[in-house]
Structure 1
Amino acid sequence: MQSSAPLPILPTVNGHLTYLLALLLGLLCVLKSQAAEIRILTTLPVIHSWAANVAGDAATVESLLPANVGPHDFQFRPSDLRKLAAADVVLMNGLGLDTWLTRAVTRGASKPSRRVVTVTDGLQPQLIHHLTPLAMDAETTGSEKSHSDHTQNHGDEDANPHVWLDPVFAKHCVSNIIQALCQADPAHADGYTRRGATYLQELDQLDTQIRSSLKDLSNRRIVTFHDAFPYFCRRYDLQLVGVVEEVPSVDPSPKYLAQLSRAIRKQQVRVIFSEPQFHPRLIQRLASDLSIGVAELDVLETGSASRTFYIDGLRRNLRTLESSLR
């Protein structure tokens, strides 16, 4: 007669308690870890991209702007105000682009520990201020005299806010983010510093790539939809002949378009650059009248925020410039 298989040993009451205790402790550790994460709120998707690279998994990074809404059109919803109230660190561009955030922070409930950081702080001596759209040549070629003439006796609100399209200025903004996160969350400062240093190296490589790819272009004259690219042009020695939209969000007058057309012919511009955020109809009509090409450059004011958003966007722009200006 075969002996029956031994019965499995059932866990004792003490075993059950030990298991439950371990499970509870593990859950508490997870909750404690999640509670320790600071909440970072950003305005532009480029700032979200920078912050996400610095924060890693040590913090939660959210963007205020929906993917299809730019800073000029953004309006607060109740859910956005709740995000703002919960944020430990708020990162904004400044320079008049996202002043709606300043007003909301001022009017909203005060959170004593919240840090509101303008990532462009410290760039003031190098800012480009609003210029006559058809008289940008000296400024965008980096002339020291023109540069100093246009940076004195101006406030930040008068400055061109599109500094992020210059990777060297982006490095400055990222350094401000690293410092802000280290101050807000000292427990994770080593990680912020380490990841930030790695990302700064990636931005160095991006700058080198753009400089190398554009340095031998014989055709360096461009026209863009609106005044978003003077920093990029100055950095990489491109000549910004003019912009199609004389005043933001206002259709240009026939007189202005006639002036722009004369400048395009005189400077032998071969391509006009549209932007994905705006309908290209006006640019297409102008280019057709002048028998020149149309291509697209992204200002990166809208889009799905991600860690790779910024570098991927500038590399797309670089490929467009290379193919259009050869």
Structure 2
Amino acid sequence: MKQIFSKITAGLLAAVLLLCTLSGCVRRTAEKPSFRVMTSFYPVYIMAVNITNGIDGVQVSDMAGQQTGCLHDYQLQSSDMQALSSADLFIINGAGMESFMTKVTDQLPKLTVLDSSTNVPRITDETGEVNPHMWVSISSYIIQVQNIAAGLAKADHTHAVQYQKNSDVYLKKLENLRTRMHTALDPLPNRNIITFHEAFPYFAKEFDLNIVQTVQREPDSQPSAKELAESIRLIRSSGVKAVFAEPQYEQSAAKIIAQESGASMYSLDPAATGSNDVNAYLDAMEKNMQTLQRALR
């Protein structure tokens, strides 16, 4: 009887082990990546994951995290430097967005850095400072994707063909969206807008929009009562019909200005934060197109 029980027990144990193996509950050692890519922040991360999508052995990480937003006054952490020390390639936006780069290159002189802003036409403010929010323009974004694809192929020859194939697929999607956006937005009668952050000059230039005023040049600041009053007077006198806030930041000032001026408030997304979805940028720009169609008709 004991022998029969033992055989039954052994058989059940073998069956459980087999089921666990088939269902994946047996712990496996993760494959060590052969090429590690670190990106500075979310927009560049989305570019990189599209180009590296489905390529075995290539790991892409986002240093600042998906919800950090623009790197205004970003302070490097010791964990950032540690992560960068093991990276094979560090992809940055460039154009001054990563103000901490001197520290990175001083401490990690052998780190290969890929600046995605190469050959992207710059926009400067009245003081001559370069605006780094170039990815918000879909045409600038396309150049950045091309730069990253070329840089990845140069740094990692093993996967060069795959990088090119992935970038070709992504670029086609971007170009199709750009065409549809121009078809939808170019005929709109109203071109004047009010924004609350310096994120949209490239986008405005792309679609021939006139930014009458930027209320908050820095997203973490709040306009004074005097600035709010001036914005309200400007909207009333200029006939601006739409005020655009950003989903990443506090919108109380935008709501006050819209209520007091009679303008409508909308949300325009610079795609500086978002989900871990390869289509995140495409989805954000699609939504922006729909929003502008409603706001400027």
TM-score class, shorter-chain normalisation, is 0.7 to 0.9
Q: Note if 1:316 corresponds to 2:287.
A: yes
Partner SS state of residue 293, structure 2:
helix
- Looking at structure 2, the residues matched to 162 and 254 of structure 1 have their Cα atoms a distance apart, in angstroms, of 28
The worse-fitting range, judged by mean Cα deviation, of 74-83 and 228-237 is 74-83
- Looking at structure 2, the residues matched to 55 and 183 of structure 1 have their Cα atoms a distance apart, in angstroms, of 14
* Unaligned ranges ≥5, structure 1: 1-29, 133-153
Q: Which amino acid is 2:152 matched to? A: L
**2:52 matched residue in structure 1:** 55
TM-score by length of 2: 0.83
**2:126 matched residue in structure 1:** 131
Q: Note if 1:273 corresponds to 2:270.
A: no
Give 1:1-326 correspondences, 5 Å limit: 34-35=31-32, 37-58=34-55, 59-70=58-69, 71-72=71-72, 74-100=74-100, 102-110=101-109, 112=110, 114-123=111-120, 126-131=121-126, 158-246=129-217, 249-326=220-297
Does the 8 Å CA contact 1:46/1:309 hold for their aligned counterparts? no
| Structure with more relative contact order (C-alpha pairs < 8 Å, separation 6 or more) | 1
- Looking at structure 2, the residues matched to 247 and 72 of structure 1 have their Cα atoms a distance apart, in angstroms, of 8
Partner SS state of residue 269, structure 2:
coil
RMSD of aligned C-alpha atoms?
Answer: 2.1
Does the 8 Å CA contact 2:231/2:257 hold for their aligned counterparts? no
Question: How big is the shift at 1:320?
Answer: 1.4
Q: What number of residue pairs does the alignment pair up? A: 266
Higher alpha-carbon Rg:
1
Question: How big is the shift at 1:201?
Answer: 1.0
**Cα distance change of structure 1 residues 209 and 291 upon mapping to structure 2, 3 Å threshold:** same
- Looking at structure 2, the residues matched to 74 and 36 of structure 1 have their Cα atoms a distance apart, in angstroms, of 28
Deviation sequence 1:250-275 (CA, Å, 0-9, x none): 33344433433332123211121111
Q: Which amino acid is 1:256 matched to? A: E
- Looking at structure 2, the residues matched to 305 and 108 of structure 1 have their Cα atoms a distance apart, in angstroms, of 30
**2:5 matched residue in structure 1:** none
Does the 8 Å CA contact 2:41/2:65 hold for their aligned counterparts? no
* Unaligned ranges ≥5, structure 2: 1-28
The worse-fitting range, judged by mean Cα deviation, of 250-259 and 189-198 is 250-259
Partner SS state of residue 179, structure 1:
helix
Does the 8 Å CA contact 2:228/2:253 hold for their aligned counterparts? no
Paired-residue identity, %: 32
